[in-house]
Amino acid sequence: MPQAAVIGERPERLTDARSPSKRSLRALDWVNFFKADAQATVGPYLAIFLSAARHWAPRRIGMAMSVPGLVTVLAQTPAGALVDWAPSKRRVLAGAALSLSAGCLLLATATGLGEIIFAQTIIAAASIVMPPAIAAVSVGLVGHRSFAERTGRNEASSHLGAVAGAAAAGAAAYWIASAGLFYMAALMAAGAALAGAAIREADVDPALAREAAKANGEGERIAAISELARDRRIAIFAAASMLFHLANAAMLPLVGEMLGAGHPTLAGPYMAACIIVAQIVMTPVALAAGRLAGVLGRKPVLLTGFAALPIRGLLFALTRQPALLVAVQALDGIGAGIFGVVALIVVSDLAQRTGRFNLLQGAISGCVAIGSSLSNLVAGAVAERAGYQAGFVLLSALAVTALGFLWAAMPETGPRQHKPASEE
pLDDT of residue 268: 67
Q: What is the residue type of 179?
A: A
> What is the CA angle 282-287-288, rounded to 5?
95
Q: How many C-beta atoms lie closer than 10 Å to residue 241's C-beta?
A: 23
Q: Which residue has the higher pLDDT, 282 or 5?
A: 282
pLDDT of residue 277: 85
**Residues 141-187 pLDDT 10s:** 988 888 888 988 998 888 888 777 767 766 766 666 666 778 878 88
Helix (H) or strand (E) holding 137, with range, is helix 113-142
Q: Which residue has the higher pLDDT, 268 or 162?
A: 162
What CATH number is given for 23-199+228-413 in this structure?
1.20.1250.20
Q: Which residue has the higher pLDDT, 137 or 266?
A: 137
pLDDT of residue 14: 44
* C-alpha span between 107 and 87 (Å, rounded): 32
pLDDT of residue 246: 94
User: What's the rounded mean pLDDT across residues 118-146?
Assistant: 86
**Band (289; pLDDT cuts 50, 70, 90):** very high
User: What's the rounded mean pLDDT across residues 103-132?
Assistant: 83
- Cα–Cα distances in angstroms (integers) from residue 234 to residues 110, 260, 412, in the given order: 39, 40, 12
* Phi, psi values for residue 40, rounded to 5°: -85, -25
Domain edges within the chain: 23-199+228-413
Q: Using an 8 Å Cβ cutoff, are 125 and 99 in contact? A: yes
User: What's the rounded mean pLDDT across residues 342-371?
Assistant: 87
In terms of phi and psi (left: phi > 0; alpha: psi -120 to 50; beta: otherwise), the region of 213 is beta
**Residues 233-249 pLDDT 10s:** 999 999 999 999 999 98
* C-alpha span between 401 and 378 (Å, rounded): 16
Q: For residue 82, what are the contacts with CB-CB under 8 A and spacing of at least 6?
A: 92, 129, 358
* C-alpha span between 421 and 16 (Å, rounded): 10
Q: Which residues of 297-311 are buried (b: 16+ CB within 10 A; e: fewer)?
A: bbbebbebbbbbbbe
Q: Whats the size of the chain, residue-wise?
A: 424
Beta pairing partners, 338: none
User: What's the rounded mean pLDDT across residues 405-410?
Assistant: 96
* C-alpha span between 97 and 46 (Å, rounded): 19
